[in-house]
Amino acid sequence: MTTPEIAAYGAWRSPITTDLITSQTIGLGQIWLDGEDIYWSELRPSEKGRNVIVRLKDGEVSDVTPAGYNVRTRVHEYGGASFLVVNGTVYFVNFADQRLYRQSADSAPQAITPEVAKRYADAIFDHQRQRIICVCEDHSVTGQEAVNTVVSIGLTADSTPQQLVAGNDFYAAPRLSPDGSRLAWLSWNHPNMPWDGTELWIAEVQADGFLGKAEKIAGGREESIFQPQWSPDGTLYFISDRTGWWNLYRWQNQTVEALTEITAEFGKPLWVLGMRTYDFESSDRIICTYTQEGIWHLASLDTKTKQLEPLPNPDTEISSLHTTPGKVIFIGGSPTEQTAIVQLDLASKQLEVLRRASEVKIEAGYLSLPQAIAYPTSDGKTAYALFYPPQNQDYTAPVGEKPPLIVNSHGGPTAAAGTSLDLSIQYWTSRGIAVLDVNYGGSTGYGREYRQRLDGQWGIVDVDDCVDGARYLVEKGAVDGNRLAISGGSAGGYTTLCALTFRDTFKAGASHYGVSDLEALARDTHKFESRYLDRLIGKYPEQQQIYQERSPINFTERLASPVIFFQGLEDQVVPPNQTEAMVTALRVKGVPVAYLPFAGEQHGFRQAENIKRSLEGELYFYSQIFGFELADAVEPLRIENF
């Protein structure tokens, strides 16, 4: 065994390169079961961020989506649930035109919706009436807010969608009962987001295919319903946070009945459509997943006895769960394994990996394992985070040196730090830079009360929790208090910019398509989030002063730390003008600033060369600001005023 080389933190050579991350890693998305065949979607950075449907049939894996097509819907801008499969025929949304296509085994994709400004998602198949039922988002009227409905679509070319449900601002999860006689769906209205309050409705499907009188059976402005689903025997199940925690319920005999009553979250914030945390192995058995203290668990629930029993599984992060009799298929990951599509045999308890996000194997000596920490916050509460110390078996730091720290503020802001192996985190730790992935107040996984810590306090609670986390590690002697950086994307970018502007803890920062002007965001963003700030900040323009007081763009005179900005030029969530205004202000003030815009990218980067450039650009930026030599050559970037 070789003796580790002594080198400064940040200057360690790592086998975890940007080429390895981008060219040999894919994103695993939606799963769909069609008989014995398993389908899933793959996001491929090496193909310009194209999404491809893949099929596992008779032990062979093959691409279904032909070249020139990108399977991705833009409903709510974040999409999700972009395809379904029925007896080998695939129906999918193509990103370029947002039309719904039919693709059979022996023919090329054929559009079945008109060429108009409508988007489709979260589709199911109505076998009795040979049609598709899905969410529709109509952008055809210029200058007006998009209109969301539930529609039915025929299977022939250029079918005219028929409206089934309308009148609410948003819809999700249209689900038919097994006999096709009833339709259930979720709806909600401004200013709520789906994790704030949704309603669960059902209606009879009439002989002509339209719906009879609708009945609300659960939910409201202060109750979030997630994943309604019919059991094989025709009972409607769903997840509700009416107790403060997302637990499982069912509606039977006109009554709502709790199936689980534990301090755990079976649900997730519905940022993307089609999310699933449970499924029916039979009418008497549900296979489900839930999170406690940031760790996801797999379990079996007896629908008669309500007994919840854990299932053996090494994964700590689980999503997109589906079942067939005797088997469970899901996307799983752990601190030592990247996400993979996994199949669990319920009889033998054997796990089989069907597809990995990456076939790259990283030696354990290069991997930093997350350490769950809890620490006191400025408002007298407790915040949570995952701490990743530097780790590289080939290096050790000089005696007495402490590592730089990057505090990661996740997006959402109601998302959560994941526990599966993330090479973009290991990219830093294997070079000698510590990472703190913060689940600040407002994050999911700790109950409704913890989510609501952010109500009216965005830009305060999240910032304090990030600052307090960094200070906690400094006080413990784990990191260098003079080399603290903060980085985040989207809402996490806003937290980053607020921390750099209104606090003096961090010496540098990186904003990935982050919000800098809350007023601009309130006036100029897409429908799904257009009233999100009502709860996080206050009503606009009635509480305009608060918006102005919490917008970093208005206080650039307070910002003295260097910042690097990354921005997709086709971003409809946080438009480029927000980032460009911030860059201009810092440029004029004389603060060191760097800006990397990316043509062809939306909200979040999907193209390999842009993911590579943003990672390497951020590393180069920190090396210049914190004064450490890089072990590998990285393309320089211009840092103005430096």
Q: Give the separation between CA 216 and CA 75, rounded to whole angstroms.
A: 24
Query: How high does pLDDT run on average in the chain?
Result: 95
Q: Give the separation between CA 361 and CA 399, rounded to whole angstroms.
A: 31
Residue 335's identity, in one-letter code, is P
Q: Examine the pLDDT at 420 and tell me if it is beyond 80.
A: yes
Beta strands in 357-491 (DSSP E): 371-376, 382-388, 395-396, 405-409, 434-439, 484-489
Report strand pairing: 182-188 vs 199-205: antiparallel
- 143 pLDDT band, cuts 50/70/90, is confident
Beta strands in 220-316 (DSSP E): 225-230, 236-240, 247-252, 255-258, 278-282, 285-292, 295-302, 308-310
What is the predicted pLDDT for the residue at 124?
Answer: 98
Q: Give the separation between CA 354 and CA 59, rounded to whole angstroms.
A: 9
Q: Examine the pLDDT at 24 and tell me if it is beyond 90.
A: no
| 448 token code pair | 């409704």
Residue 592's identity, in one-letter code, is P
- 385 pLDDT band, cuts 50/70/90, is very high
Residue 134's identity, in one-letter code, is C
| 198 token code pair | 């949704």
Report strand pairing: 508-512 vs 308-310: unpaired
- 575 pLDDT band, cuts 50/70/90, is confident
| Backbone CA torsion sign across 374, 376, 379, 380 | positive
Express each pLDDT in 592-628 by its tens digit.
999 999 998 988 888 889 999 999 999 999 999 999 9
Respond yes or no on whether the N-terminal peptide bond of residue 228 is cis (omega within 30° of 0): no
CA triplet 580, 582, 583: central angle to 5 degrees? Answer: 65
State the greatest distance between any 2 C-alpha atoms of the chain, in Å, as a whole number: 79
* 549 phi/psi in degrees, rounded to 5: -70, -25
- Angle between the N-to-C axes of helices 461-475 and 491-502, in degrees from 0 to 180, rounded to the nearest 10: 70
What is the predicted pLDDT for the residue at 319?
Answer: 96
- 158 pLDDT band, cuts 50/70/90, is confident
Residue 337's identity, in one-letter code, is E
Cα dihedral 134/139/145/148 (nearest 10) = -10
Express each pLDDT in 94-109 by its tens digit.
999 999 999 998 889 9
Query: DSSP 3-state assignment of 626?
Result: helix
* 82 phi/psi in degrees, rounded to 5: -100, 0
Q: Give the separation between CA 81 and CA 94, rounded to whole angstroms.
A: 12
Q: Examine the pLDDT at 512 and tell me if it is beyond 80.
A: yes
Above pLDDT 90, what percent of the chain? 89
Q: Give per-residue burial for 394-410: e unless 16+ CB within 10 Å, then b.
A: bbbbeeeebbbbbbbbb
Q: List the one residue out of 227, 231, 180, 173 whose CA is nearest residue 207.
A: 180
Q: Give the separation between CA 267 and CA 227, rounded to whole angstroms.
A: 8
What is the predicted pLDDT for the residue at 23?
Answer: 75
Q: Examine the pLDDT at 469 and tell me if it is beyond 90.
A: yes
Express each pLDDT in 34-55 by its tens digit.
999 999 999 998 898 899 999 9
Sheet with strand 278-282: strands edge to edge = 278-282, 285-292, 295-302, 308-310
Express each pLDDT in 259-282 by its tens digit.
999 999 999 999 999 999 999 999
Express each pLDDT in 205-220 by its tens digit.
999 999 999 999 999 9
Number of H helices, E strands in the chain: 10, 38
Query: DSSP 3-state assignment of 574?
Result: coil
Query: DSSP 3-state assignment of 39?
Result: strand
Alpha-helical segments (H) within 232-312: none
What is the predicted pLDDT for the residue at 1?
Answer: 59
Count of CB atoms within 10 A of residue 149's CB? 19
Q: Give the separation between CA 228 and CA 250, rounded to whole angstroms.
A: 9
> Do residues 211 and 165 lie in contact, with contact meaning Cβ atoms separated by under 8 Å?
yes
Place of tokens 């969410």: 135
Rounded to an integer, the average pLDDT of 425-431 is 98
Indicate left, alpha or beta for 326 from its phi (over 0: left) and psi (-120 to 50: alpha).
left
| 242 token code pair | 């009416």
* 111 phi/psi in degrees, rounded to 5: -65, 135
Report strand pairing: 405-409 vs 434-439: parallel
- Let me know how long the chain is: 642
Q: Which residues neighbour 249 within 8 Å (Cβ) at sequence distance 6 or greater?
A: 218, 237, 238, 239, 240, 256, 257, 258, 259
Rounded to an integer, the average pLDDT of 375-397 is 95
